[in-house]
Structure 1
Amino acid sequence: MEAAAGLQEAAPVTLKFDFNPKLGIDNPVLSLAEDHGPSDVWLCRERPRFCLLSKEEGGSFGFHLQQELGRASHVVCRVEPGTSAQRQGLREGDRILGVNNHTVEHEALEVVARRIRASGPRVLLAVVAGQAHDTARARQGDGALLCPTLGPGVRPRLCHIVRDEGGFGFSVTHEHQGSFWLVLSPGGAAERAGVPPGARLLEVNGLSVEQLTHSQLSRRLWQSGEQVTLLVAGPEVEEQCRQLGMPLAAPLAEGWALPTGPRCLHLEKGPQGFGFLLREEKGLGGRLGQFLWEVDPGLPADKAGMQAGDRLVAVAGESVEELGHEETVSRIRAQGSRVALTVVDPEADRFFRMVRLSPLLFLESAEAPASPQSTRSAFGAETEDPPGEDTTLPPAPRGSRQCCLYPGPGGGYGFRLSYVASGPRLSISQVMPGGSADRAGLQRGDEILEVNGRPVDGEQDVDRLHQLAEAEPPLCLKLGARSPRGW
């Protein structure tokens, strides 16, 4: 996106109403205006509208941004004709208040651009017209305009369901074309995959069901084979979106029981370098990408979990999917001796291309809590010896590895800690199934050697526990191999 001179807006269309002496005047605009006072009219005009944009392979969303001089607001300065931005009603002069589920009005322009790039092939923008924005500013001062967001656990869900002996574990009811709800089989595959009771069905394998008949939907589900990925919204999510005026859009989704996901690798350069080769080549669908090859055994890339054939999607959290080889290499070099790379393996690459969402949206994938207590605390610190049955663990290969965790919507990372004064002082005592730690490969008995780059050692261990609880994401851990004796 670039700051550029904009195109002029099209002139508004004026509807004419003929007077019929028998029927009177039927003008809905007049009727609505009579129901609102002046302040109510401005409130409606200041409420953001939402534009769900999509782009084709190698294309763009079709708009350009610039930052207002002396202000933090972000202005749409040009909308390309015939693009998704124009079709979805984005107009020159609009101010962007939100990107997906993030309020961005007071963020720097480069941060807003980074969020839009990281959204991949689809992005949801909350915008307000320029005139309404300026009027609100005159009344409210520098306070942020209202930009609704959905809270943790109250968002659409992307659920991956694997068929079992009972099928997918749901049936479909509908009122009319495009409106479908799921009825779950108790304990069935859909329920286990996180589909909430009474959920509305929005997409099947990345494709909207809005235009489908019931028979077409049944055929699509049958063609899915043994696995299907559904975008659904529970009744409370549907109601909250209705109240906020937000669409039930895929870029708002949190992932539940996904078969795969992105991996964040933290590398520290050694005497022989990072130990991998970056090469630009064609991937799925003939798309050019940056791929990681020749991962040298025992060097930092190998220790961090890099696999030959991984595709690089972000450097230091910023998407590089639209960059060429030289610019991507420059981004990596600019990080110096420590670099964070977000990658997807071929399986993850195929999955996220199918659902038409960026893997970067799921670095904070949801954890499905088993109870309200588990959402209250996603990891805890235990300063006493764990129960006897936990003290004996199978031996594991020695060595260390690094991983980077992002909290789920409940605010936690999905593991608990144990601290004792002798032996490995700080260890993983519990890993919650399906949580961030589980997906990153943490196992009970792993010894924590470093927290966010700082060693865990001696009398400072207890302080490290507090730092761990207060750390801003991502949480970067260096882990030692599991001890055969536990704690």
Structure 2
Amino acid sequence: MEAAAGLQEAAPVALKFEFNPKLGIDNPVLSLAEDRGPSDVWLCPERPRFCLLSKEEGGSFGFHLQQELGGARHVVCRVEPGTSAQRQGLREGDRILGVNRHAVEQEALEAVARLIRASGPRVLLAVVAGPALDTARAQQGDGALLCPTLGPGVRPRLCHIVRDEGGFGFSVTHEHQGSFWLVLSPGGAAERAGVPPGARLLEVNGVGVETLTHSQLSRRLWQSGEQVTLLVAAPEVEEQCRQRGMPLAAPLAEGWALPTRPRCLHLEKGPQGFGFLLREEKGLGGHLGQFLWEVDPGLPADKAGMQAGDRLVAVAGESVEGLGHEETVSRIRAQGSRVALTVVDPKADRFFRMVRLSPLLFLESAEAPASPQSTRSASGAETEDPPGADTALPRAPRGSRQCCLYPGPGGGYGFRLSYVASGPRLSISQVTPGGSAARAGLQQGDEILEVNGRPVDGEDDVDRLHQLAEAEPPLCLKLGARSPRGWSGL
């Protein structure tokens, strides 16, 4: 049994962390080092690797799947030369463990192919070489090499920001070309759209930033006009992906404040039928699609919320992208008198084509509120965090601000402290460019007023801060205005 799965180009967004030994490690707890760690997962054949594939309209990803005889493993049986699959390192004999954020090793072949088709122009595959899988299973049993996943709320975010009188509500810091982080304006448009504090910027309107200079990025943001859609990752998401060897890929994203979403319509056939006409015609960019027209008032389609001009993207949750008219009609008829249709209106169609993602990736949260203002973090709106990662804090009084930090890949927070006997007791004397502290907005000279809710008022606080490496993240600081004094290292 074999299933073809889709082609064409995508630049992987696997992110590399760099360690500059010139920075040194002054404070053994608040280390300035942020490297990848001693082990490189990409060089370990016993660990899953990730392939981010993409395709052009009407093309394929460039590989074929088959199911092992007598087993549930999905094997890449053919990779087409010159395709995205070949360029991104997919090889014949690879076993597929995951599709985007779904573990699929125990799924049927058709279910796996359906997930790949529903991913749209881009798909992230977790794979492992066949011999490595067999060796691991022989040594560790069937539980070995489970697909690494990200939990709900700990994933990259696709955030749609609408400019207000304060602009987009963020500024951009960078360490080198392609590495950008956002510093949020409190209460600004970006914060209201769900951009987390210290977020790493990955894409602007569906285009990766890894090859852009700072001036090119600024020009692209200016050209966005009154609204922009950013793919971002919070520091804790970046860290979890690093630990799992996962790229910060767009198909893993959850939507925040999106301007539109797909709609799932549930229809039950009445005496006069469903009450709509399905027609194949050219849509955006001249590409063929299946469109819904002549919605009869008062009949099931109208009552379910169907609008003339909607484009059909799925039947019973299964993508119909690329299917011809007759096959699409057959799938609708096969559902009988009750059918679930997933549709997008022209506005949604334009949006999801711009960000190069399938609307089906955002279907499961389509009923979520469009704005995340109901839950707030220390310096912005966020979804509920998993247990142990709660960052909710009261707002800082005027003249101070709150910052929550997570350890970087090397285990440090990326800043250095100084202590003086008079004046500001504890202050920031050095901040690693691009580190966790820099991404959270810490600056040289900031005075520390509170640590994890406890006031800083004496020399004993230095000893307490030296124990931070053993504390559960995040590290939450209340910071005062920058101090004009000089600094002396600890």
Q: Structure 1 length as normaliser, TM-score?
A: 0.69
Q: Residues 139, 469 of structure 1: CA spacing in aligned structure 2 closer, same or farther, 3 A cutoff?
A: closer
Query: Would you say the 8 A contact 1:99–1:112 is kept in 2?
Result: yes
CA offset at residue 145 of structure 1?
2.4
| 2:39 alignment partner, SS class | helix
Q: For residues 266-294 of structure 1, give each alpha carbon's deviation from its aligned partner in whole angstroms, at most 9, with x where no partner exists.
A: 00000000000000000000000000000
CA contact (8 A) 2:122 2:357 kept: yes
* 1:63–1:85 Cα contact (<8 Å) kept: yes
> Offset at 1:193?
0.1
1:285-312 per-residue CA deviation (whole Å, 9 max, x = no partner) reads: 0000000000000000000000000000
- In the TM superposition, residue 46 of structure 1 has moved relative to its aligned partner by 1.6
Which 10-residue stretch deviates more, 377-386 or 217-226? 377-386
Unaligned runs of 5+ in 1: none
Q: Can you list the C-alpha shifts for 1:226-248, whole angstroms capped at 9, x where unaligned? A: 00000000000001101110000
Mean alpha-carbon deviation: is it higher for 32-41 or for 218-227? 32-41
Equivalent pair of 2:406/2:473 in contact (CA under 8 Å): yes
For residue 197 of structure 2, give the secondary structure of its aligned residue in structure 1. Answer: coil
Q: Could you say which residue in structure 1 is the equivalent of 2:228?
A: 228
Do the aligned partners of 1:393 and 1:485 also contact (CA within 8 Å) in 2? Answer: no
Residue pair 2:292, 2:307 contacting (<8 A) in 1 also: yes
* Contact 1:266–1:341, Cα closer than 8 Å, also in 2: yes
Instruction: Tell whether the 8 Å contact from 2:95 to 2:128 is kept in structure 1 after alignment.
Output: yes
Q: Tell whether the 8 Å contact from 1:6 to 1:77 is kept in structure 2 after alignment.
A: no
Structure 1 residues 184 and 352, CA gap change in structure 2 (3 angstroms): same
Per mean C-alpha deviation after superposition, the further-off stretch among 427-436 and 339-348 is 427-436
Instruction: Report the CA distance shift for 1:95/1:478 in structure 2 as closer, same or farther (over 3 A).
Output: farther
Tell me by how many angstroms 1:322 deviates: 1.5
Q: Is the 8 A contact 2:8 2:53 kept in 1?
A: no
Q: Deviations over 1:402-422 (max 9, x none)?
A: 999999999999999999999
- Is the CA contact 1:255–1:366 (under 8 Å) kept in the aligned structure 2? no
Tell me if structure 1 keeps the 8 A contact 2:7–2:61.
no
Distance in 1 of aligned mates of 2:399 and 2:275: 17
| Aligned-partner SS, 2:373 | helix
CA contact (8 A) 1:279 1:291 kept: yes
1:272 paired residue number: 272
Describe the SS at the equivalent of 1:3: strand
Change in Cα spacing, 1:321 to 1:399, as seen in structure 2 (3 Å) is: farther
| Residues 1:324 and 1:432: Cα distance change in structure 2 (over 3 Å) | farther
Q: Distance in 2 between matches of 1:336 and 1:480?
A: 65
Other-structure match for 1:321: 321
CA 97–309 in structure 1, closer or farther in 2 if over 3 Å, else same: same
**CA separation of 1:11/1:84 partners in 2, compared to 1, >3 Å: closer, same or farther?**
closer
d(CA) in 1 for partners of 2:186, 2:439? 26
CA contact (8 A) 1:384 1:420 kept: no
Identify which range, 328-337 or 446-455, moves more after superposition. 446-455
With a CA cutoff of 8 Å and minimum separation of 6, indicate the structure with the bigger relative contact order. 2
Shift of 1:38: 17
Q: List gaps (5 residues or longer) in structure 2.
A: none
Query: What is the alpha-carbon distance in structure 1 between the residues aligned to residue 446 and residue 200 of structure 2?
Result: 41
Greater shift, 209-218 or 386-395, is seen at 386-395
**Residues paired across the two proteins, number:** 487
TM superposition shift of 1:176:
0.4
Equivalent residue for 1:49?
A: 49
CA offsets per residue over residues 138-197 of structure 1, 9 Å max, x none? 223333522110001100000000000000000000010000000000000000000000
**Change beyond 3 A, Cα 1:296–1:148:** same
User: Could you say if the C-alpha distance between residues 271 and 56 of structure 1 is closer, same or farther in structure 2, counting changes exceeding 3 Å?
Assistant: same
Q: For 1:429 and 1:327, how far apart are their aligned partners in 2? A: 66
Aligned partners of 1:284 and 1:350 also within 8 Å: yes
Moved >4 Å (runs of 4+): 3-43, 366-487
* Identity among equivalent pairs (%): 94
Contact kept in structure 2, 1:414 and 1:435, CA below 8 Å: yes
Richer in helix (by share): 1
Question: 1:314–1:321: 8 Å Cα contact kept in structure 2?
Answer: yes
Distance 1:468 1:9, change over 3 A: closer
Query: Hey, what's the Cα distance between the residues in 2 that align with 1:38 and 1:482?
Result: 36
Question: Structure 2 CA distance, aligned partners of 1:22 and 1:438?
Answer: 18
List per-residue Cα deviations over 1:414-465 (Å, max 9, x = no partner).
9999999999999999999999999999999999999999999999999999
Contact 2:76 2:93 in 1 (8 A): yes
- Give, in whole Å, the separation in 2 of the partners of 1:209 and 1:91: 28
Provide the C-alpha distance between the structure 2 equivalents of 1:270 and 1:421, rounded to a whole number of angstroms. 81
Q: Deviation per CA, 1:47-75, whole angstroms, max 9, x where unpaired?
A: 10000000011110000000000000000
Contact 1:451 1:464 in 2 (8 A): no
* Deviation, structure 1 residue 136: 1.7
| Partner SS, residue 4 of structure 2 | coil
Q: 2-side partners of 1:443 and 1:19: how far apart?
A: 20
Out of 107-116 and 407-416, give the one that drifted further: 407-416
Give the match for residue 198 of structure 2: 198
Distance 1:219 1:473, change over 3 A: closer
Are residues 447 and 184 of structure 1, via their aligned partners in 2, closer, same or farther at CA, if it must alter by over 3 Å? closer
Contact 1:17 1:26 (C-alpha < 8 Å) held by counterparts: no
- The 3 A distance-change label for structure 1 pair 427 and 304 is farther
Q: Assess, with a 3 A threshold, how the Cα gap between structure 1 residues 217 and 337 changes in structure 2: closer, same or farther.
A: same
Distance change in 2, residues 1:40/1:232 (3 Å): closer
Report SS of the residue matched to 1:46.
coil
Give me the CA root mean square deviation. Answer: 18.7
Does structure 2 retain, via aligned residues, the 8 Å contact 1:375–1:410?
no
Q: Matches of 1:430 and 1:25 in 2, distance apart?
A: 12
Question: 1:12, CA displacement in angstroms?
Answer: 22
SS at match of 1:232: strand
Q: 1:67 to 1:462 in 2, by over 3 A?
A: farther
CA contact (8 A) 2:32 2:413 kept: no
- Alignment CA distance shift 1:23-1:233 (3 Å): closer
Distance 1:243 1:468, change over 3 A: closer
Shift of the 388–351 alpha-carbon distance from structure 1 to 2, 3 Å rule, reads closer
Worse-superposed segment, 130-139 or 424-433: 424-433
Say which is worse superposed, 381-390 or 167-176, in terms of deviation.
Answer: 381-390
Instruction: Provide the rounded CA distance (Å) in 2 between the counterparts of 1:373 and 1:327.
Output: 43
Change (3 A) 1:232 1:104: same
Q: Say if 1:217 and 1:452 are closer, same or farther in 2 by CA, change over 3 A.
A: closer
Higher mean Cα deviation, 381-390 or 132-141?
381-390
**Secondary structure at the counterpart of residue 211 of structure 2:** coil
Question: Per-residue deviation at 1:83?
Answer: 0.2
1-structure distance, mates of 2:426, 2:17: 75
- Larger CA deviation: 458-467 vs 220-229: 458-467
Asked if 1 retains the 8 angstrom alpha-carbon contact of 2:372 and 2:382, the reply is: no
After superposition, give the CA deviation of every residue in 1:65-122 in whole Å (9 maximum; x if it has no partner). Answer: 0000000000000000000000000000000000001100110000000000000000
SS at match of 2:5: coil
